Structure 1
Amino acid sequence: MISWRKHYKKTLIAIGLLLSTSASFYGQDGDPKNGEKLFKANCSACHALDKQVIGPPLKGVVERVKTEGGVDRDWLHKWIKDNKALRASGDKYANEIFEKYNKTEMLQFPNLTEKDIDDILAFTTNPPAPEPEKTAETTPAEGTANAPADKTTTNIVIISLLAIAGLLVWILVKLRQLVTLGQSEDLAGLNATRVRSFSEIYQKYHYIGKGLLGILAILAAYGVWNWIMWIGVYKGYKPEQPIYFSHKIHAGEQKIDCQLCHSSAKYGKVSEIPSMNVCMNCHRTISEYNGKYLEPGKDKAFYDGEIQKIYAATGWDADKQQYTGKTQPVEWTRIHNMPDFVYFNHSQHVVAGEQAIINSFNKKNPNNKIDVVCKACHGKIDTMNVVQMANDFTMGWCIECHRTTEVDMNNGYNKEYFKNLHDKLKKQYPQDGGKITVDAIGGLECGKCHY
């Protein structure tokens, strides 16, 4: 009996050790919740749990590498920290993976500690279930509070219906009186005294008529003039595009710099529409929308469908992670379009005039300040789901800006280049304290914008 008990205790100890080793191997000794944060920060650019992105899906990776390559958790630690060194050492399985995924080299993560890697492996083995969203529930107190309001609403409806009924009765009474009057001799006498034609009215009140006609002519002329002056002005214009693109999500929620996509605005005359390859810089690894913001009337499936349009346009096969060569042109609808006789250079405003324009705009709009120069003309683009023309972009609008925007003379280039001109303008405009606006240095010359 004693011998059996000893063997029983040894067996339990052995089973316990086996289970603890197994749990350690499968990454369960880590913290899945912390692993989820680390995964999103370090791995999500190239990997997903349940599908291939640039790299393979990582759900159950611990068990998979054991089955495929016969390697353990220590091997995964080495691979994650420095897979290049592991391949250079001649590790067979490491080189097989490298070849299998088109020799795409994985980044090294020497900054991750052993515990960090254990947490990530725990997340890939047993990802925590998403927390259910809290829904607003009406408490008994709230229901009781709403009861008086509902009763008041009912009373208002009843009173309104009674008032309408009373009005209808009054109208019926008046109609009856009119019918009675029409059948009397008094009505015949009244009709005899009335004017029977428009000519009689005009002869009687021709001075008033001529005055009214004159006023109508002036209003008509003003309407025509106003209509002519607004030809070609499309403030508020926001057409639908073939692929839905929300600046609120990209520039607002994700804080993507305007010039990352519109790079030519800084160094060129025209701010070009970004090519689809610019979109693919990010969307090669972002195949679905997982953001928290949803525009009213749109859901996750809508945004996912728009991403698929990008893939169709560029010929990207998300499953094989390669381009097919079959592309589809995207016919974007242009929003901002200057007339052919107007010259406008983006780089001149974005680079040379950047700080001056921002300072001038914020001075004129203290309650609606901007942080980037683009917003001075294009409005707060980071709040727009659908881009619209935010300003008039008329000649008068541009001239007003040139008359009120001060040139930044603290800029080293301007300070040196306009040195003599600056002294001359101080004498010419002493009432402005030597402040130089764009119009003072040729900002109103016709040839600057028309050629």
Structure 2
Amino acid sequence: MISWRKHYKRGLIAIYVLLSTSASIYAQGDAKNGEKLFKANCTACHALDKQLVGPALGGVVDRLKKEQNLDTDWIRKWVKDNKALRASGDKYANEVFAKFNKTEMLAFPNLSDKDIDDILEYTTNPPAPEPAADAATASDTNSVAALEMAQKQSTNSKVILISLIAIGGLLLWLLLKLRQLVKLQQTEELAGLNATRAVSFGDMYRKYSYIGKGVLVVLGIFAAYGIWNWLMWVGVYKGYKPEQPIYFSHKIHAGENKIDCQLCHSSAKYGKVSEVPSMNVCMNCHKMISEYKGKYIEPGKDKAFYDGEIQKIYSAVGWDPASQQYTGKTQPVEWTRIHNMPDFVYFNHAQHVVAGENAIITSFNKKNPEAKIDVVCKACHGQIDTMNVVQMANDFTMGWCIECHRTTEVDMTNGYNKEYFKNLHDKLKKQYGSGTKVTVAAIGGLECGKCHY
């Protein structure tokens, strides 16, 4: 009897040790904190449920234990410095490196053992999503909404009925008045009056010819002005915002995510033309971002819509997100151009973005204190970081450009400009007074040959 109890106690101790060991593997961390750390450090290359640049990490602790007999100590070493682990000759570390095209994972020596355990707990037991609203509450809300809608429809019906009755009464009154006019026309007094009046347009024109000629002259002037005004707006497409083959929201990219304009439009700073970015530029980010996880959703759109547009990028460049490789099958994207300078006009982006950046921003903010800008691009292209669909924000006429040249002062705090335009500044002071400013117009900004060559 004593021997049996002894074995029983030993069995309980063994079971306790086994359970505590299992718990140390699977429940060592804080899953909620692990979720924050995972999103901050891992989501660029990893997801829980699918392969991105690196493998899917859902259940990675259990998977490594079963397949490779590796514990969390190995994972900690890999996360903190996978390069050192590979250099030590670790077989599995080198196998993983080779399997994923020798793409070296970033080292995270800043993560403590507890941080890594929290992340592993998140990959093992992700926190459940926030519970949906109570069904009964939702039902009550729907019932109230339905009742309000029914009351509103009843009120609308009454208004429509009263309006129809009022219109019917008005028509009846008009009918009675017409009958009175017909009776009045049949009197002798009215017949005599009609005999003295003009009965045709010709008679009317001969009687009042001087008035008619004056009216024709006025109409002719208005017609000429209308034609001239119409001709002046040929080629002006302010507000033009065509649909593109792949939906691209500048509000999400430049507004919500604060991506610098010149990251995509790199030639705007040092080139004459600001080019349409190639699809490879898109893939710099979307190679690792295969679905939309942002908080902002445009009215009328949903997450599935944005995910579908990302898939269009993959189809265009021939990218297989499952294998993380290019297939070689590409499809050209026919973008619709929005801003298109005429061939007879010279415009250099670099001249404005580099040399004129401070001057343009300062001038614009003085003239538009309620809509200050922080980047020079917005002076011409509008508040681009608030646009879901890009549109032409200004007229882009010659008059619009000339007005800007007349009011924009040259940046004289720039050492080069201060020295180069010193003599010009002194000359303008003598000619117009000490308060004069050096504008773009003063340095040749109104010369025809500057823009038309």
Task: Tell me the TM-score normalized by structure 2.
Answer: 0.91
Shift of 1:164: 2.8
- Separation in structure 2 between the aligned mates of residue 401 and residue 411 of structure 1, nearest angstrom: 20
Q: Which amino acid aligns with 2:230?
A: W
Shift of 1:158: 5.7
1:360 equivalenced with 2:359 (yes/no): no
256, 266, 269: which one aligns with 2:269: 266
Alignment-derived partner of residue 66 in structure 2: 67
Shift of 1:160: 3.6
- Separation in structure 2 between the aligned mates of residue 434 and residue 17 of structure 1, nearest angstrom: 88
User: What secondary structure sits across from 1:367 in the alignment?
Assistant: helix
Shift of 1:155: 6.6
Residues 331-342 of structure 1 aligned to structure 2 (within 5 Å) = 331-342=334-345
Deviation digits for residues 253-272 of structure 1 (CA, Å, limit 9, x no counterpart): 11100000001111111111
**Conservation of the 8 A alpha-carbon contact between 1:289 and 1:304:** yes
Residues 45-444 of structure 1 aligned to structure 2 (within 5 Å) = 45-132=44-131, 138=141, 159-178=162-181, 192-430=195-433, 433-444=435-446
1:18 equivalenced with 2:22 (yes/no): no
**Conservation of the 8 A alpha-carbon contact between 1:252 and 1:383:** yes
Shift of 1:230: 1.0
Q: Which amino acid aligns with 1:52?
A: Q
Query: Compared with structure 1, are the counterparts of its residues 178 and 243 closer, same or farther at alpha carbon in structure 2 (3 Å cutoff)?
Result: same
Structure 1, 192-201 or 257-266: larger mean CA deviation:
192-201
Query: Compared with structure 1, are the counterparts of its residues 206 and 354 closer, same or farther at alpha carbon in structure 2 (3 Å cutoff)?
Result: same
- Separation in structure 2 between the aligned mates of residue 189 and residue 301 of structure 1, nearest angstrom: 80
Query: Compared with structure 1, are the counterparts of its residues 252 and 318 closer, same or farther at alpha carbon in structure 2 (3 Å cutoff)?
Result: same
RMSD in angstroms over aligned alpha carbons? 2.8
Q: Which amino acid aligns with 2:64?
A: V
User: What secondary structure sits across from 2:369 in the alignment?
Assistant: coil
Q: Which amino acid aligns with 1:22?
A: S
- Separation in structure 2 between the aligned mates of residue 342 and residue 120 of structure 1, nearest angstrom: 58
Shift of 1:29: 2.1
- Separation in structure 1 between the aligned mates of residue 423 and residue 108 of structure 2, nearest angstrom: 57
Query: Compared with structure 1, are the counterparts of its residues 257 and 143 closer, same or farther at alpha carbon in structure 2 (3 Å cutoff)?
Result: same
**Conservation of the 8 A alpha-carbon contact between 1:427 and 1:434:** no
Q: Which amino acid aligns with 2:50?
A: K
Deviation digits for residues 88-127 of structure 1 (CA, Å, limit 9, x no counterpart): 1111111111121121111111011111101111111111
- Separation in structure 1 between the aligned mates of residue 186 and residue 280 of structure 2, nearest angstrom: 85
Q: Which runs of 5+ in 1 are unaligned?
A: none
- Separation in structure 2 between the aligned mates of residue 133 and residue 224 of structure 1, nearest angstrom: 62
Shift of 1:434: 3.6
- Separation in structure 2 between the aligned mates of residue 282 and residue 106 of structure 1, nearest angstrom: 17
1:449 equivalenced with 2:448 (yes/no): no
Query: Compared with structure 1, are the counterparts of its residues 187 and 4 closer, same or farther at alpha carbon in structure 2 (3 Å cutoff)?
Result: farther
- Separation in structure 2 between the aligned mates of residue 351 and residue 159 of structure 1, nearest angstrom: 67
Alignment-derived partner of residue 31 in structure 2: 32
- Separation in structure 2 between the aligned mates of residue 406 and residue 88 of structure 1, nearest angstrom: 61
Q: Which amino acid aligns with 2:17?
A: L
- Separation in structure 2 between the aligned mates of residue 20 and residue 185 of structure 1, nearest angstrom: 119
Shift of 1:412: 1.7
- Separation in structure 2 between the aligned mates of residue 190 and residue 138 of structure 1, nearest angstrom: 72
Q: Which amino acid aligns with 1:54?
A: V
- Separation in structure 2 between the aligned mates of residue 369 and residue 132 of structure 1, nearest angstrom: 43
Q: Which runs of 5+ in 2 are unaligned?
A: none
Q: Which amino acid aligns with 1:24?
A: S
- Separation in structure 2 between the aligned mates of residue 253 and residue 100 of structure 1, nearest angstrom: 36
User: What secondary structure sits across from 1:320 in the alignment?
Assistant: coil
Count of residue pairs the alignment pairs up: 449
Q: Which amino acid aligns with 2:451?
A: C
Shift of 1:430: 1.2
Query: Compared with structure 1, are the counterparts of its residues 143 and 301 closer, same or farther at alpha carbon in structure 2 (3 Å cutoff)?
Result: closer
Query: Compared with structure 1, are the counterparts of its residues 435 and 182 closer, same or farther at alpha carbon in structure 2 (3 Å cutoff)?
Result: closer
Q: Which amino acid aligns with 1:372?
A: V
- Separation in structure 1 between the aligned mates of residue 57 and residue 139 of structure 2, nearest angstrom: 36
